[in-house]
Amino acid sequence: MKKILRPLFWPFIYLGMKIIFPKFKNKNYYTMRVLLMGVRQRLVGLNKSVSWPVHNSSIVRSPKKIRPGTKSPGISIACYIDGRNGIEIGENVWIGPRVSIISQNHDLNDYTKYVDCPPIKIGKNSLLTSNCVILPGVELGEHTVVAANSVVNTSFPEGNQLLAGNPAKLIKKLEEYSGK
């Protein structure tokens, strides 16, 4: 049934997404579910100023300082994405449920002040699995997989790697990414 209805509704879904998210260009997210999520986000949701679709249980802070890549960060449930120091996300980066990407940290000697640090950079073709945390100033190379419940507090710019643990460590090297 879905395969029959999708081609019929495709022009309406595409047009609706163009109206709601004019700057977001990824056609992979143009589904009826995401369209309805976008309508709710624009009319009632927390993330009205975000220019890409975000799940209603996710929170995005300072979206103007976030370069979202080709996927929609925050489309999974309960993500927390804090872009106050900037976040640069490459193409084809998959972000799982309950992932936290936090680009700003408190000054350890005065908790009312924040520390400036470089933006978080996540290389293309990466995968951030559920409940992982990416902390300020981290740079992840291309094709980096961060295992569930890992906390990444240092940079791993090499790429083709699997990270896991708290704090995250290099577990093994991966072959070149072969997907699209």
Q: Report the catalytic residues.
A: 106
- 10 DSSP assignment: H
Separation between Cα atoms, residue 171 and residue 75, nearest integer Å: 28
Backbone angles phi, psi at 102, to 5 degrees: -115, 115
Strand residues in the chain grouped as ranges (E)? 59-61, 66-67, 80-82, 87-89, 94-95, 100-102, 105-107, 110-115, 120-122, 127-128, 133-134, 139-140, 144-146, 151-152, 161-164, 169-173
* Residue 60 φ/ψ, nearest 5 degrees: -120, 120
- Is 21:52 a contact under the CB 8 Å cutoff? yes
Dihedral sign for Cα atoms in the order 42, 48, 49, 55? negative
